[in-house]
Structure 1
Amino acid sequence: MVKLYHIGSLILCLLLSFAVQAVEISARLDTNEVSVGDSVKLTVTVDEQSSGKEPDFSPLNQHFEILSTVQSSTSNIINGRYSATSSWILTLLPKQKGYVAIPPIQYNNVFSKPLKLHVVKRASSTTQAEDFLFLDASVDKKEVFVQEQLIYTLRIFRADIDIFDHTYNPPDIKNGVMEQLGEQRNYQTTIGGRIYNVIELQYAVFPQKSGKLDIPSAEFIGTVFRSRSRTYNFDPLNGRQVRRAAPELQINVKPKPASYPADQPWLPARSLQLEDTWSPDTGTANIGDPITRTIKITAEGLLTTILPSLPETRIKGVKIYPEQPENSSTSGAKGIISSRTVSQAIIATQAGEVELPAIDITWWDVDQQEVKVTTLPAHTLTVSGSGMQSQTDSNATPSLNTPANPKPTPTAAATTPGISSTWQWLAITFFLLWIVTGSVLLWLFLKRKKPENTQLETNSNNNETSLKAAKEELEKACRENHAHKARNAVIQVFRQHWEDSSVRNLQHISQRLAYEPLTLALDELDQHLYRRDGDSDAAWNGSTLLSIVEDSLNQPQAAPTTKEPLAPLYPV
């Protein structure tokens, strides 16, 4: 028993030692380049539960200001194996411009790999930096060739406000194709001493006509609430719908250069590659046996719609059967990356060596401003075989025991036709009985289900009708600025929306929904109704309440409480 105890302790120590040695730490940035005044997010991850420990972030203080730190942990058991990770997300503000190093981060006795961040000078901006909400737009080039990729960047700046019921309209570009690049990016920046939350969107724009390309304004519309206004004091900004537009831009689009070959399709790209794969990849083939060749064209900065088709190839000794091309595109760090994949079935028809010619694609290098040709080298295929089916001894020599004209052997069905016919009729009879029985059971089920479905449909229609009537009553009361009618209509709207007759007052709605804009609007209505001067409908404006109630119907309910401590103050 003692010996088993010592063995178990030894195994446990070995496992713990292995776990300590296996700990790894990694660090990554959400972007490798930011402007002066912009924040960047650094994520540090270790593959164990931290248990109160955290990495040493003090080396970051030399070049960064740590604005915030958020920690999270996850653990999983998959196929009996336990795994855990702990992550820290730091929001960093660079203190200087240029190339700034992210030093190795230490956790226990392990270090992360160092990273490099490029902090560039902010371009001069004419935006309304004193405003609480504004848009800015920029492009990476002021002049491009027709169908050349152009990167359009839109930024939405927001300071000290909450925005609800917002709508964003990207620019509608004529004579151009626009595609969004990846997901939006969120970060913070400081302009004129004010901290802004920034939403950044990037698009790839492909002009389709030479001349002047106008990029109209992108628009942002929303209802604004000031973040620091949490009291009942009147704030003219709260509940106000605002509209902001980005500056318009104009780009010079040049036609295809004269030095480009007139007999080749126009392909302005940053890079273009050709590659092929073979299955089987032996370099040899037999006559009549198909082999598959897959050719892939990959271009950076081009739309898939203008990728060229492969030239038709007619070669003596082989037949080529191409399949339908497959097109795809992804978003990269420098725009769109498009690809076209073509599979060909190649069947040799004669023996010998067959040479498949090289494939050339001419394109325009937008970085070097010159014509280039990408080539897929020629391929030699060695074909063997005679093209005739080989005969074996079994099919070439007839059997000596087989007569020249063998007589057919009578089968069991031929000798006993009565038995076979009886079983066929029995099978048909049972099949027909099965169909009739199934039809009767289906008819009885549908007959029984129909009243229940009709009742559910009736109840659903009645509830929709009541909810529509309550909304119309609320709209009428808000349009007439009648506070008392609006209060009763709001309660009826949420009663019908939740199908709950226990909704009795405005406080009950606020507690159950926990939606802050609605809470502020209902508190304002309640204070207006029960103020001491008695004239509760004198100066109340219902347009804000109507908009917020409509938006609140899409919000989830808060977790229900076990009991209501006090009776409602103003029951219906």
Structure 2
Amino acid sequence: MRRVSHLLQAVFFLLLASTAAADSELTATVDRNEIAIDETLNLRLRYSGKESGGQPDFELLEQDFDILSRQQSNQYRVINGRAESFVEWMLTLAPKREGRLFVPSLHLHGKVSDAIPITVSEAGSRPDGGDSKAFLEVELDKDRIYVQEQLLVKVRLYTVIGLHDISTDPLQIPGAHIEKVDEQRYERRIGGVAHAVYELTYAVFPESSGKLRIPALTYVAVAGRRDPFSLFNRNTQRLRLRSEAKEIEVLPKPDSYSGEHWLPAASLGIVQSWSQDPDTFKVGEPITRIITIRAEGLRAAQLPPLPRINVEGLKTYPDQPQQDDQAGASGISGSRIETTAIVATRAGEYQLPPITLSWWDTKAGRQRVTQLPAFRFTVSGAPGAAGTSASGPSTLPAPATGSQLSGDAFWRNLAIAAVASHLLWIFYFWWFRRHLGVPRNYNPAPQRKSTTESREILLQAAESGDATRLREALQSWLYERCPKLKGKGIDEASEQLQLKELTKLQQLLNAALYVKPARPLNRQQVQILVKKLLRAEAEPQAQPKQGSLPELFG
């Protein structure tokens, strides 16, 4: 009798389950129908029916909402003798815009859920009262700017709770060049409550006049501590933070501006330096002139090229200009370095013309002019030249016939020396490659104790301007960073690593060590190349994941 009783109960429950399965339906509910643009809502979708598998087409939701999270569960339960089974989806939604939106009707196994209206209002007032646990703030450093002028945009994330898995899309503005220049974390008290602050600073350069709109930025984060022993981390909450959009007026170039190039900057300076004392300038010996333009609030790409030297009696050999941008909390400072080798063909007094640049002072709101004054110097005769007059050629010029013969002899000797040195350099380059790029009298530098030490030695060698010392320090650093390169020369390392900074350093070293007449190293250019090389080597390891931010109070 007991077995019969159990059998009847089982049949009864099966009948109840089948009856419940017959009443299949798809229902959708939300936790609230009115939210702000910076808030989220929870959508619960439940299907009870006899068919299994599949899921609704959630892409319909993405027309008006971002799906921040989605979870699925299968349940079977008996309540007061009634059995029911169902599949349930829980979605966290964030509205994409303000106004009246709809959670659309969703379909599954022939069943359709009802559409749900959602009213989305604008973001609430600034939460200075401390009632919000996390919020975003956007600050512009100016009320209006000129076209191509730098605008600093600071985005701050405030929180009093633990946030992790923070992600955001980078700032994008059509018609503007944007660079992230600074990143800081600190603490600020608002209404007596301590907030952790994560601040990003962007430099924005508008390319045309008119209204420039800084779009609303969206941060997605998880609040609460992650539980390593929980599969679903039910104690956490996914948040979406949204900033307010900003708008700023961009003015065209002033009509009163008369400069050849439009340069809106906070400051602009021109500095001149020489590879050696110009007072020692001799006929036929090269000397290098280095001019650096540095502007605060301008990118290096915005700085114009300088006019070429066109002085009779001087031959010039300009090098490729070096451009560099330094980023910091105050924005970008761009620099352009132009290097020119100068060879005098005859002795005498020379004057290099002044260099003048007009620019717009964004702080004072007016046009300014920065000028590098004209530079006068004296070139003495070639060492050991016979028959050189004590009074100098600038006082009593030599007879025409003698001058022509002397000039012809000089250029003939220079051509012979150039051909001979070129052949010698080709032979030495072949021998250098054949013997792994190590000179016979070269003693390898002892192995450094640490990467930091080799970096410092390389930086010191770059500052010294000594080509031999720089070559040894560069090889030592390369051997330590890439053990597979040991025994190879800098030229082979450059071919293998394909680093443009290393290739340029190799060219400068070859010109200073193996070419006649040797070209002295440009210290400023070498220092910039070395710093870029070290930075390029370090960035792949330190670069964080795109769109990923550090944990706050995590």
State the TM bucket, normalised to the shorter chain.
Answer: 0.3 to 0.5
Q: TM-score, normalised by structure 1?
A: 0.43
